[in-house]
Every structure is written in structure tokens, then in C-alpha cells.
Amino acid sequence: MAKPTILINLNRCTGCWTCSMACKVAYKLPEDKWWQYVRTIGSRAGIDEPAGEWPNVRMSWMPVYTSDCILCGKRTKEGLEPFCTYNCPTKAMTYGDLDDPKSDVSMSMKKLREKSYRIFQLPVWEGTRPEIYYSEK
């Protein structure tokens, strides 16, 4: 695959951590190790802590791929999806080759752009995996 990519539609992310757990269990990571985790976009006080003041509060989530993530290299070579995208219960994640305009991820990105979703990546200084794209509206 020329450009393996994961696209995450944040409008469908509920912050459930299934993606992170699927990775952690499959790769038998130790208790304190997470190759991928879910960031709460809120007050920054912790998981599921909203920003604002009651009742004008808001919160969303963003799965973040650390540089430890291996994008399930072995698994994807066999034609399978990464553990995170495969098990996402809300189908918020799409995996595929961004260089192939007919791949799931390219098609999905195109469709979301047409629907005025903003497509973006985390800044380089965060040091996260560069293959991850987000969409949000």
C-alpha cells in the first residue's frame, strides 16, 4: 500500500476507548503502555471532563496515535484492517490507501469534504503518527 491512512470522523467518535483497548489487548501491551489513546477535548482535567460552566458545557474526543503505533503492519499486509478501525463500534474510522482514489479512505474523505467537513491532521510537533487524518463538522 502506497500511503496507508486512517481517517477518523470525530462526529462519530463517542470516546469509548474500544480502539485503544483493541490495540492494547491484541499486542499484549503492559498496563501503563498505550500505543493509541483517546484524548478528551474538554477542560483538560481528565477523561470525560467537559469544558465550560454548567449548563453551558461541551466535550468531544479524539483518538491519538503515538509514535509507537505500528499501523498493524503485519495484519494490513494480509489485507486486514488495523485492530482499532476494525473494532470501532460506531464506524468512526476508515482505513485504506490515500494514493488510491477508489480506496475506502479516499472515498470517505471525498464524501466528507463534499459535506463540508473539515479535514485536518495533528501538528507535527505533537510527534504522533503522520498517517492519521481527522474530519469534523
Partner 1 sequence: MNKEEKFVYTACMGTGCHERCFLKTIVEDGKIVRTERAELGSPEGARYGICQKGIEYAKFPYLPTRLLHPLKRVGKRGEGKFQEISWDQAMQEIGAKLRDIRDKYGPEAVIVNTFECGYPAQWSALHLDLALRFVNTFGATCSEMETIDSGYFFATQVDLGSSWHHGNYDPRALADSKHIIIWGSNPMGATRAVATTRNMLDAQERGAKIVDIGLVYDSTAAKADQFVPIRGGTDVALALAMNRLLIEEDLYDRDYVTNYTVAPFLVREDTGQFLRESNIKAGGDPGKYIFWNKLPAEARTIAAHTHDFRDSVPDLMASLSINGIPCKTAFLKLRKHLAKWTPEYQEALTGVPAETAQQLIHEYVTNKPSVIWLNLGLRYYNAREAHRAIQLLSALSGNLGLKGGKLALIALGGGWPAHTDKVGIRCPDGIENVKGARPAVTDLIESLKAPDEPKYRALLNMVGNPVQAAPGRKMWTDAIFPKLDLIVNYEVRVTDTALFCDYVLPDTTSFERTDLLLQCNWVVLQEKAIEPMGEVKPPADFWRSLAKQVGLEHYFDKTTEEWLEICLQSQDPAIAGVNPPLTLERLKKEKMVRLNVPTELYDPFVSLGFLTPSGRFEFYSEDMVKANEAMANWVPPLIHTPKRKEYPLQLLVSRHRVFMQTQFTDFPDLRAIAGNEPWMQINPADSVVRGINDGDLVEVLNDRGQLKVKVRLSQAIPPGVVQMWFGYRASEYLEGSPTLLQVPTGTAETLDDAGREWLDVVKKRWAPLPGEAPSLDRWPYTINGQWKIAGNWDVIWDNYCEVRKVSGGK
Q: Does 67 bind partner 1 (CB under 8 A)?
A: no
End-to-end CA distance of the chain: give it in Å, rounded: 29
CB of residue 105 vs partner 1: minimum separation in angstroms?
A: 18
Sign of torsion, CA 70 81 6 42? Answer: negative
Three-state DSSP at 69 gives: coil
Nearest to 17 by CA among 111, 110, 88: 88
Q: Does 114 bind partner 1 (CB under 8 A)?
A: no
CB of residue 126 vs partner 1: minimum separation in angstroms?
A: 21
Q: Does 3 bind partner 1 (CB under 8 A)?
A: no
Q: Does 118 bind partner 1 (CB under 8 A)?
A: no
79: cell is 489485507
Task: Using the minimum distance from each CB to partner 1, give the nearer residue, 89 or 130.
Answer: 89
Q: What does each C-alpha distance from 105 to 1, 15, 67, 132 come to in angstroms?
A: 12, 21, 21, 11
Q: How many residues bind partner 1 (CB under 8 A)?
A: 39
Q: Does 25 bind partner 1 (CB under 8 A)?
A: yes
Residue 23's identity, in one-letter code, is C
Q: Contact residues for partner 1 (CB under 8 A)?
A: 11-12, 14-18, 20-22, 24-26, 31, 43, 45-55, 57-60, 75, 78, 80, 86-91
